[in-house]
Amino acid sequence: MYREARIAAIADARRRADDYAAAFGTTVAGLVEVSDLNTGFNGVPEMRTFAMAKGADDTPFEFEPATQTVSGQVTVRFSLNAVSL
């Protein structure tokens, strides 16, 4: 899921770069930089701590998976071809 979110974010960044380039009457020249805010899944340590603190009791275990939201943030920088004014 994280891979899909990153690929979609990068594809969106490229479309936006193409739009900006078109607004300036030029085209995207190339990729300059990509950085990823690799945040991962924030709930893991908290859930592990909760599970260990809870201990064994008579509470039934839920077998239905919970819906999880996956997001990603990437910064992508492109260079533009020179514009003749």
DSSP codes joined into one string, 11-78: HHHHHHHHHHHHHTT--EEEEEEEEE-----THHHHHHHHHHHH-S-SPPPP-SPPP------EEEEE
Which residue range forms the structural domain that includes residue 40?
A: 2-58+70-80
Residue 85 is assigned to a structural domain of this protein:
no
Token pair of 4, please?
Answer: 């899909």
Nearest to 77 by CA among 32, 25, 14, 26: 32
Confidence of residue 19 (pLDDT cuts 50, 70, 90): very high
Residue 18 is assigned to a structural domain of this protein:
yes
Lowest average pLDDT, out of 19-23, 42-46, 50-54, goes to: 42-46
Confidence of residue 52 (pLDDT cuts 50, 70, 90): low
Cα 34 to Cα 21: distance, rounded to the nearest angstrom: 18
Q: What is the pLDDT of residue 65?
A: 81
Looking at every residue in the chain, the average pLDDT score rounds to 78
> Does the global pTM surpass 0.85?
no
**Count of domains forming the chain:** 1
Residue 64 is assigned to a structural domain of this protein:
no
Residue 36 is assigned to a structural domain of this protein:
yes
Residue 52 is assigned to a structural domain of this protein:
yes
